[in-house]
Structure 1
Amino acid sequence: MGEGTDEETREETPRVRRRGRTALLIATAAVLGLVGGTCAGYLIQADREPTRLPSLSQPVVAQAKGAGPEPLSAAQDRRVKTDGDLRKLLIKRPKGTQEAEYAPGHDGWLTMAEYADQLEDPDEAFGSLVGAEFRRSAGVDWQVGSTYNVGIRLVQYRQEEKLSASEQAGNWNVDGTRSWPIPGTGDGMAYVTTKPDTEPGYEPVYSAQAHAWRGDIAMEIWIYDTKPIPKAKIMDLAERQMERL
Structure 2
Amino acid sequence: MSIEESIPKADTTAPPEPETVPETAPPVRTPRRRVLRTVGLIAVAAVIGLVGGTAVGYGIQADREPTALPPLNQPGLAYPAKALPKGQRPEPLAAKEDRQAKAQGDLRKLLVAKPAGAKKDKFGDSNGWMPLYEFAGQFTKPGNALDHQLDLGVRRVATASWMSGEHRRTEVRLIQYRAGDTLASEEYIESQQDYMPTKKYADSEGKELKGSSNGRYYLFPVQREAGYLDLYEARAYAHRGDIALEIFMTDTKKISEKDIRSLAERQLGRL
RMSD (Å) for aligned C-alpha atoms: 1.7
Structure of larger gyration radius: 2
Aligned ranges for residues 171-186 of structure 1 at < 5 Å? 171-172=191-192, 173-174=195-196, 175=201, 176-186=203-213
**SS at structure 2 position matched to 1:201:** coil
In 1, distance between residues paired with 2:94 and 2:269?
Answer: 18
Deviation at 1:178, TM superposition (A): 4.8
Which ranges of structure 2 fall in alignment gaps of 5 or more residues? 1-84
- Counterpart in the other structure of 1:89: 110
Deviation at 1:199, TM superposition (A): 3.6
Aligned ranges for residues 145-156 of structure 1 at < 5 Å? 145-156=165-176
- Counterpart in the other structure of 1:109: 129
4+ residue segments displaced more than 6 Å: none
Inter-CA distance 99–119: structure 2 relative to 1 (3 Å threshold): farther
Deviation at 1:93, TM superposition (A): 1.1
In 2, distance between residues paired with 1:100 and 1:183?
Answer: 28
Deviation at 1:204, TM superposition (A): 2.0
Inter-CA distance 149–200: structure 2 relative to 1 (3 Å threshold): same
Aligned ranges for residues 118-133 of structure 1 at < 5 Å? 118-133=138-153
**SS at structure 2 position matched to 1:110:** coil
The match for 1:68 among 75, 86, 89 is 89
**SS at structure 2 position matched to 1:210:** strand
In 2, distance between residues paired with 1:119 and 1:150?
Answer: 18
Letter in 2 for 1:140: A
1:100 corresponds to 2:126: no
Q: Which piece of structure 1 moves more, 201-210 or 212-221?
A: 201-210
Deviation at 1:151, TM superposition (A): 0.4
Deviation track 1:160-190 (CA, whole Å, cap 9, x = no partner) reads 2321101111212112325210011111111
Letter in 2 for 1:156: Q
Inter-CA distance 229–75: structure 2 relative to 1 (3 Å threshold): same
Task: Tell me the TM-score normalized by structure 1.
Answer: 0.69
- Counterpart in the other structure of 2:270: 244
| Structure (1/2) with the larger strand percentage | 1
Deviation at 1:99, TM superposition (A): 1.1
Q: Which piece of structure 1 moves more, 64-73 or 83-92?
A: 64-73
1:220 corresponds to 2:252: no
In 2, distance between residues paired with 1:216 and 1:199?
Answer: 39
In 2, distance between residues paired with 1:200 and 1:101?
Answer: 27
In 2, distance between residues paired with 1:199 and 1:120?
Answer: 21
1:208 corresponds to 2:229: no
Deviation track 1:30-75 (CA, whole Å, cap 9, x = no partner) reads xxxxxxxxxxxxxxxxxxxxxxxxxxxxxxxxxx755433322222
Instruction: Report percent identity of matched pairs.
Output: 37
Letter in 2 for 1:129: Q
**SS at structure 1 position matched to 2:191:** coil
Letter in 1 for 2:123: Y
Letter in 1 for 2:241: G
- Counterpart in the other structure of 2:20: none
In 1, distance between residues paired with 2:163 and 2:155?
Answer: 28
Deviation at 1:78, TM superposition (A): 1.6
Letter in 2 for 1:92: A
Letter in 1 for 2:255: I
In 1, distance between residues paired with 2:142 and 2:222?
Answer: 23
Task: Tell me the TM-score normalized by structure 2.
Answer: 0.62
In 1, distance between residues paired with 2:163 and 2:126?
Answer: 17
In 2, distance between residues paired with 1:107 and 1:128?
Answer: 25
- Counterpart in the other structure of 1:166: 186
1:229 corresponds to 2:255: yes
Q: Which piece of structure 1 moves more, 109-118 or 135-144?
A: 109-118
